[in-house]
Amino acid sequence: MDEGISSLIRNLSISDDRLQTLTEIKTFVVSSHSSTLKNVVQASDLETLFQCLENNDRDEVEAICFILSSLLPIVDPVDVAVKLASAIQNGLTHPNPDVQHLTLKELQRVVAASDGATALSDSPDITRFAIFLVGDADESLAAAAVKFLSEFGRTSPNAARTMLKPDFQPHYRDLKTVMQKNDVVKFRVYEIVCNIQAESQEMLDLCVESGIVSDLVKELDGSDVLGKVTCCTMLSGMASSNHSLDYLVQAGVVSKMTEMLKDSITDPFSDLYVPAGVIRFFGNLSLYNGPKFVLEIFPNFCKVIFTMVGSNDPPKQQVAMETLGIIGETLEGKKVLSEQGDDCTTAVQDVCQILKHGKQDMRLIAVDCMSRLLDHKKVNENETDVAYKITLSWFRLLSSNPIDTIINLCKQPFTDIRCSGFALLNTLADCQWGVEAMVEFATLVEFLLDRSTETEKSSKDAKFAVIKTLTKSPNVASIFGNRNYLRFRQFLNEGPYYVGTQLSVAIDEA
């Protein structure tokens, strides 16, 4: 029986009723476990299936795509790259987009495997045909081609050179040619280059040498507003790695971004590119170089963020809260924000209002922002006193009864809101003043230990995490009392999904 599928596939070329044979193969595949087929199906069998794609009969192509999608993953990816190179090339140029999607998906599997990218480098036409698909009108097909070429370039220096080194191979000219098709395709190529350069300094140097990165930077000076938006977003991604950041500083991108922020007051289109691009760019600078670095470049950056938080414009508020959380996660960031005085206090109050009264998606972002602001994981033990003073002042801005506000989040009907509330409680449970604040809430212990409040796995896990953190707190026994400490320990030992005896008895009696 194991040999049956290979025999059926070999008979395809001589079958009088190919569709019937394909149906039999499909049935065989569906009824067999992949482990059964793994040592039976060979790359040569799949080559026969690819050859049958030359017949553009819709039903046959659909059946072959199904069979190949099941069998390709069980064949060694290097064998696919070496033995099926011609078939893969034909798949990329096939008139049926389903075949092209299938082929690109397999190529992504190949480059993810050890030695897969090296094996693919021996088939240069595969790269060329994939580049052509970057310019396809089918967005999903083009996106798959971008993903493959990005990973291929990241994992294979040779592949990156063939695409990006001028005069080294024709693939560089292929990329430059496809960029001329239209602006959408041009930015797809920019995306490939941005993805490749993130891998290392060597890859960045190659991308810079290609001239394509400098072309991207020039888009900041263009008159196309949508192009500027996309450009800002891509450059903000580049700012997340140190080797890329050094280039952006030298290329004048940081200065340009600063000018764009300053000019945003008079630019009627600034709302399109400032929140998603420019602010995120500086947020990444802060994440990897510290907020002081950003303030040295643009002293009014914090004020811009504060203004956006209180703007009543959801897209601006979202980016501003995300950036505020990134800045305030470290002690340096907490100090920088606190030094802004009343402006910072007002901004945190605005975040708290969104946390309590905003729409669901905005509330989640606000809770995450507060969790980061109050978090102490990135604070050194010898600096906790300074951090505690700052974070406690922000905590008190939540409401007149902050723990009650957080517990209300944990009781919301939406699971993601409840989980975010527990995450905020977990942040408090990890610091001394947080534990002391929690014990003041009279019904907190009973609420945390009541397993009946949570029915979803995610919320059970979130509540369990709070108990776990509390139990590990060095002073929890003295703060909550030995009895409650032992109850926390029991809850922890029983695990997040424990079902009590009382419930079991009730079920048995029913």
* Cα–Cα distance measured from residue 193 to residue 244, given in angstroms and rounded to the nearest whole number: 12
Q: Which of 31, 236, 75 is nearest to 4 (CA)?
A: 31
Map out the domains of the chain as residue ranges: 300-398, 409-510
Mean pLDDT by 10 residues, the chain (510 residues): 70 79 87 79 86 86 92 91 92 94 95 89 90 96 97 92 81 92 96 95 93 93 84 86 86 87 75 78 83 86 91 88 93 94 96 96 97 92 91 96 96 95 96 94 94 94 96 92 95 90 45
Residue 452, Cβ neighbours under 10 Å: how many? 7
Residue type, 192: I
Q: At what angle do helices 85-92 and 43-52 cross, to 10 degrees?
A: 30
* Cα–Cα distance measured from residue 192 to residue 134, given in angstroms and rounded to the nearest whole number: 10
Predicted local distance difference test score (pLDDT) of residue 185: 96
The two tokens of residue 365 are 């972002």
Residue type, 165: K
**DSSP string of 58-127, one letter each residue:** HHHHHHHHHHHHHHGGGS-HHHHHHHSHHHHHHHHT-SSHHHHHHHHHHHHHHHHSTTHHHHHTT-HHHH
Distances (CA, A) of 6 to 1, 54, 59, 178: 10, 20, 21, 41
Q: Which of 82, 54, 53 is nearest to 65 (CA)?
A: 53
R_g of the chain computed on alpha carbons = 29
Q: Which of 164, 152, 265, 168 is nearest to 210 (CA)?
A: 164
Predicted local distance difference test score (pLDDT) of residue 508: 45
* Cα–Cα distance measured from residue 292 to residue 508, given in angstroms and rounded to the nearest whole number: 64
